Amino acid sequence: MEMSAKDNQEAYREAVKAIKKDRVDEVKVLVKQALEALHTAEKTRKEAGEAAQLIKRDLDDLRAGHLDKIKERHEKVKAADKISPITPQKLENLGLKTLYSNYLYGSVGGNIIGSVGTTGTITSQGLGQVSWSLGQLQSATSGTYLLSDGSIKYF
């Protein structure tokens, strides 16, 4: 059983068509992989941007003495304690605690020791007495910082 020339040409065209279809399918796989990688990168960038904004807000609020805002933010955003190294718990360990939106309180074991409005000091009892004024808090947060990757940040 011999194939005619016409049958050979038809078989050749079908083979070429199948190869082209396979190549198109391979390109489609590559495009899908690239789109998935792009989507993942954009999602990671968005999450990193949100994390950076949260940390910047925590830094700015710490410097300004708005500890109540830090506490509120960390209560609203459940992942905030994992994202930012500035947490209400760490601030409380330093003798800084917020109870009301316009006042800052120092506390030990739930007992209020001192309070501050806009110009007072925050006092904490513990191993020793620590008093924080807003100026001292701002001074403590400002400075030049050498980061672990060798970069220098000014705050």
Question: What pLDDT, in 10s, does the model give residues 23-81?
Answer: 999 999 999 999 999 999 999 999 999 999 999 999 999 998 899 999 999 999 999 99
Domain ranges across the chain: 5-154
Give the C-alpha separation, 99 to 112, whole Å: 10
The angle formed by the CA atoms of residues 55, 56 and 58, to the nearest 5 degrees, is 65
Longest dimension (CA), the chain: 105
98-107: per-residue pLDDT in tens? 433 333 444 4
Judging by DSSP bridges, how do beta strands 152-154 and 144-146 pair with one another? Answer: antiparallel
Q: What is the mean pLDDT of the chain?
A: 81
Percent of residues, the chain, with pLDDT higher than 90: 55
The reported pLDDT for the residue numbered 131 is 64
* Sequence-distant contacts of 147-155: CB under 8 A, at least 24 apart: 155/59, 155/63
